[in-house]
């Protein structure tokens, strides 16, 4: 995006540069309804848009779209600029152009993040930058301490503004063999150790009586209380408790 010369069909290397006096004269004319002056003023200030666009290099952002958003901000600034205020147009326009670009990048994100979380994330980034400028290690704990917030809040805020990554994004490519992100992920729930434990648990369950199996199913799979189970099975709550304990003890003995 930063090296792109032509954006939205505009040759950015050939954009005109207006002097302060030319800007002022064109602004006065366009405010009277002069369409030619308005067009010349817009083109003459596209360099301002381009300089601001370069600040917002984003991995998934399209250069043309970001530039267009900046131009929308420029036009809004032109329409709302008041000559009587006594400030330079660029001073007034920059916040509006930046705001429009940020709005585009925010709305274009597939994940919506609340304003409060974004504000926290930006504070985190500022604090991290300040710590690094002091040649100190900007750990999550150090940032949280300086901000006087919980570590989990810092982590959550940074995760919220991170761009989502596809499992099919390539992370390595050599000699035609592409390694995807998903190729580096493992299923921690299906290790050999866990698989062995499941087999042992299944075998231990087979040694229980039908009543014990039913009590454990109702208790741990359906989440019912011992009192509810006693009414369903037709025995007292004390018997349910005793059968449950015996069943669990038998399972532990058969697994160990």
Instruction: List the domain range (segments joined by +) for residue 167.
Output: 112-185
Same domain, 179 and 216: no
pLDDT at 29: 92
In the prediction, which pLDDT does 2 show?
Answer: 44
- How many domains, the chain? 3
Residue 36's pLDDT is what? Answer: 93
Q: Which one of 185, 212, 245 terminates a domain?
A: 185
- Residue 179 β-bridge partners: 172
pTM: 0.42
pLDDT in tens, the chain (256 residues): 444 556 666 666 778 888 888 888 999 999 999 999 999 999 889 888 888 887 776 545 677 788 888 899 999 999 988 888 778 888 888 888 888 888 887 765 555 556 677 778 888 888 888 888 888 888 889 899 999 988 888 888 887 766 555 565 665 555 555 666 666 666 666 566 666 667 777 888 888 898 998 998 888 888 888 888 888 889 998 898 899 888 888 888 877 6
Last residue of a domain, one of 58, 87, 107: 107
How high is the pLDDT of residue 192?
A: 61
The CATH number linked to 82 is: 1.20.120.1810
Choose one of 107, 137, 160: the last residue of a domain: 107
Tell whether 251 is covered by a domain. Answer: yes
Q: Decide if 25 is inside a domain.
A: yes
Residue 132 located in a structural domain: yes
Same domain, yes or no, for 51 and 131?
no
- In this structure, the answer to whether residues 57 and 82 fall within a common structural domain is yes
What CA–CA distances, in Å, run from 80 to 52, 67, 130?
19, 20, 36
CA 52 to chain centre: 23
Q: Are residues 197 and 181 in the same domain?
A: no
Considering the domain boundaries, does residue 131 fall inside one? yes
pLDDT at res. 5: 56
Residue 1 falls within a domain, yes or no? no
Same domain, 39 and 99: yes
Q: Are residues 84 and 11 in the same domain?
A: yes
Same domain, 102 and 10: yes
Q: What is the dihedral of CA 63, 66, 68, 69, to 10 degrees?
A: 180
């Amino acid at each position: 995006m930063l090296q792109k010369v032509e954006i939205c069909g505009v040759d950015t290397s050939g954009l005109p540069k207006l002097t302060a006096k030319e800007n002022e004269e064109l602004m006065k004319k366009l405010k009277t309804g002069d369409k030619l002056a308005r067009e010349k003023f817009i083109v003459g200030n596209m360099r301002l848009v381009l300089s601001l666009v370069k600040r917002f290099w984003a991995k998934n952002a399209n250069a043309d779209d970001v530039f267009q958003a900046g131009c929308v901000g420029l036009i809004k600034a032109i329409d709302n600029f008041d000559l009587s205020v006594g400030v330079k147009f660029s001073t007034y326009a920059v916040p509006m152009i930046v705001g429009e670009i940020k709005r585009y990048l925010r709305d274009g994100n597939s994940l919506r993040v609340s304003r409060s979380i974004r504000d926290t994330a930006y504070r985190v980034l500022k604090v991290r930058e300040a710590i690094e400028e002091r040649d100190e290690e900007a750990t999550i704990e150090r940032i949280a301490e300086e901000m006087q917030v919980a570590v989990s809040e810092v982590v959550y805020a940074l995760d919220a503004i991170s761009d989502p990554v596809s499992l099919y994004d390539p992370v390595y490519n050599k000699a035609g063999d592409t390694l995807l992100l998903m190729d580096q992920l493992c299923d921690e729930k299906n290790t050999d150790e866990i698989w062995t434990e499941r087999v042992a648990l299944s075998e231990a369950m087979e040694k229980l009586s039908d009543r014990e199996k039913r009590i454990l199913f109702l208790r741990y799979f359906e989440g019912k209380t011992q009192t509810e189970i006693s009414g369903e099975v037709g025995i007292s709550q004390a018997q349910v408790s005793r059968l449950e304990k015996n069943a669990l003890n038998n399972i532990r003995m058969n697994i160990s």
